A and B are shown apart, each in its own frame.
Chain A
Amino acid sequence: MSHKITRRFLMRGAVGGAGVAVALPFLDCFLDGNGQALAATGAPLPARFATWYWGCGNHPDIWVPKTTGKGFDYTQQLKPLERHRDQINVLTGFNVMLDGRPSEPHTTAPWAIRTGTAPLRGNVVDVPSFDVIISDAIGAGARFRALDACAIGNSKESLSRRSLSVINPTIETPLALYARVVGDGFQDPNAGEFAPDPKVMLRKSVLSGIKDQRTALGLGLGAADQRRLDEYFTSVRRLEEQLALQLEKPAPADACVVPKKPGEGPVGMVIEHARTNHRLMADLLVMALACNQTKVANMIFSNGASHLHTVGESSDHHNFTHEEPFDETLGYQVKAVWFTEQSMEALAEFIGALAAVREGDGTLLDHSLVYAHSDTSLAKMHALEDIPVILAGRAGGRIKTGYHIAGHGAAITRTGLTAMRAMRVPVGAWGTQSQETSKAVDELLA
Chain B
Amino acid sequence: MLLHQRWRPILGVAILLAAAPISAWSIAKEGRGEPVTKLRRLTQEQYRNTIGDIFGSDVVLQGRLENDVRVHGLLNVGASQVAVTPAGFEQYDLLARGVAAQVTGEKRRAYLIPCKPADAGKADDACARRFLTETGRLVYRRPLKADELRDYVSTARTAAQQTKSFYAGLETSLAHMLVSPQFLFRVERGLPGPDGYRLDAWSKAQRLSFLLWDGPPDPELLDAAEKGELDTAQGLALQADRMIASRQFERGTRAFFSDMLGFDNFSGLSKDGVIYPKFNVKVAQDAREQTLRLIVDQLVRQNGDYRDLLSTRKVFLTRTLGPLYDIPVQSRAGWEVAEFPQGDPRNGLLGQLAFVMLHSHPGRSSPTLRGKAIRELLLCQEVPLPPANVDFSVVQQVNSTKLPTARDRLTAHNTDPVCAGCHKVTDPLGLPLEALDAVGQLRLTENGARIDTSGQHAGVKFDDPAGLARALKQDPSLSSCLVTRAYAYGAGEPATADQAAWIGTLEKDFRQGYRYPALMKRLGTAPLFHTLPRPASTTTKVAQLRGGA
Q: Which residues of A contact B (CB under 8 A)?
A: 102-105, 136, 144-145, 148, 153-156, 162-169, 176, 184, 198, 202-203, 205-239, 242, 268-269, 307, 309, 311-316, 319, 322-325, 380-384
Contacts and interface: CB of A to CB of B under 8 A. Distances in A.
Given A169-B64, A225-B39, A228-B39, 11 more contacts: A167-B69, A198-B162, A202-B163, A220-B190, A222-B537, A234-B546, A314-B361, A314-B362, A316-B362, A382-B390, A383-B388
12 contacts: A136-B548, A145-B86, A202-B162, A210-B176, A212-B4, A216-B148, A220-B189, A224-B81, A235-B89, A309-B362, A322-B392, A323-B394
B319 interface: no
Given A220-B189, A232-B181, A105 B362 contact: no
Contacts of A105: 385-386, 388
A323 B395 contact: yes
Interface of B: 1-4, 28, 34-39, 64, 66-67, 69, 81-90, 93-94, 145, 148, 151, 155, 159, 162-163, 172-173, 175-176, 179-182, 184-185, 187, 189-190, 268, 270, 272-275, 361-364, 385-386, 388-398, 535-543, 545-546, 548-549
Contacts of B69: 167
Nearest to B82: A165
A103 B543 CA distance: 37
Give the interface centre of A198, A312, A314, A383 by most chain B CB atoms within 10 Å: A314
A269 B94 CA distance: 29
A228 B543 CA distance: 12
Contact of B3 (A206, A217, A312): A206
Given A228-B83, A309-B363, A314-B398, A221 B392 contact: no
B393 A322 contact: yes
Nearest to A201: B162
Contacts of A162: 85, 549
A218 B542 contact: yes
Listed from nearest, the 5 A-B pairs whose CB atoms lie closest are A222-B535, A314-B363, A312-B274, A322-B392, A231-B83
Contacts of A233: 545
A227 B66 CA distance: 18
A146 to B, nearest CB: 8
B73 to A, nearest CB: 13
B362 A269 contact: yes
Contacts of A316: 361-363
Contacts of B148: 213, 216
B549 A314 contact: no
A145 B89 CA distance: 13
A219 B89 contact: no
A210 B173 CA distance: 12
A322 B419 CA distance: 14
Contacts of B36: 220, 222
Given A223-B535, A225-B37, A232 B545 contact: no
B67 A155 contact: yes
Given A104-B385, A225-B37, A322 B159 contact: no
A112 to B, nearest CB: 13
Nearest to A227: B83
Contact of B176 (A144, A206, A222, A269): A206
A343 B3 CA distance: 52
Nearest to B66: A169
B3 A205 contact: yes
B545 A211 contact: yes
Given A167-B69, A202-B162, A381-B389, A235 B88 contact: yes
Contacts of A218: 539, 541-543
Contacts of B190: 220
B47 to A, nearest CB: 15
Nearest to A237: B545
